A = this chain, B = another copy of it.
Amino acid sequence: MKHAPLVDQLINAFTCLPGVGPRSAQRMAYSLLDRGREQGRRLAEALQAAMDGVEHCARCRNYAEAELCPVCEDPKRDASLVCIVSTPADVLAFEQSGEYRGQYFVLMGELSPLDGIGPRELGLDVLEQRLREGQINELILATGTTVEGEATAHYVLDLAQETGVRVSRIAQGVPMGGDLEFVDGATLAQALRGRRLFE
């Protein structure tokens, strides 16, 4: 004999979440059953609504509930400036900085041939199309600084140069407001290479 079948089904279903094994799945199920039925129902509704209602923006590939996401739809954003990022979380980070008034192109991943993630999976054929249309003045590369992020950035750089679009890369260096002693060697080396002379 096991749990009541509905409890077992719930525990099993939780293990589809990243980082959730049988133990934590059991803890989650018990927690909702014991003290959080209302929260559990809300989670069920939020899941259903998101699974059915969230699509990708036809222009930038970010999550969207209409054909275009709020950024692409906003006439005040500069459509000639496009920042290439890997995930929706990166868009969020840029938006929270309050600095950026251009648009984005969200790859929803990074090149990883061994996992079957090639240019097409990242929508780079769509990006190439847009680059050829000639409405983009500058492409800003802001993928991660991992091996996959760098490889992806190089691929996009090649695309942009083929189509004659200006490309830049966000600065790499020491983060703001931290003690130098806690910055790793690779970052410091990068910061040195990227140093700027006072004018």
Q: Would B54 and A7 count as touching, CB distance under 8 A?
A: yes
When the two chains form their complex, are residues A92 and B47 in contact, meaning their CB atoms are under 8 A apart?
no
Residues of B within 8 A of A92 (CB): 2-3
CA distance A29 to B7 in the complex (A): 22
Say yes or no: is A39 at the interface (Cβ < 8 Å to chain B): yes
Residues on B with C-beta less than 8 A from A18 are: 24, 27-28, 31
- Please state if B17 and A31 are interface contacts (CB–CB under 8 Å): yes
Tell me which of B24, B36, B54, B109 contacts A33 (CB under 8 A). Answer: B54
Let me know if A33 and B50 touch, CB within 8 A.
yes
Check A137 for interface membership: any CB of B closer than 8 A: no
Report yes or no: B43 in contact with A47, Cβ–Cβ below 8 A: yes
Q: Are A46 and B1 in contact (CB under 8 A)?
A: no
In the assembled complex, A63 has its CB within 8 A of some CB on chain B: yes
* A189 close to chain B: CB less than 8 A: no
How far does the Cβ of A37 sit from chain B's closest Cβ, in whole Å? Answer: 5
State how many angstroms separate the Cβ of A70 from the closest Cβ of chain B: 6
Q: Which residues of the other chain, B, contact A69 by a CB distance below 8 angstroms?
A: 4
Which residues of B are found within 8 Å of A16, using beta-carbon distances?
A: 32, 36, 39-40, 42-43
Q: From residue A115, how far is it (CB to closest CB) to chain B in Å?
A: 11
Residues B4 and A54 in contact, CB atoms below 8 Å apart:
yes
Chain A residues in the interface with B (C-beta under 8 A) = 1-7, 9-10, 12-14, 16-20, 24, 26-34, 36-37, 39-54, 62-65, 69-71, 87-89, 92, 95, 108-109
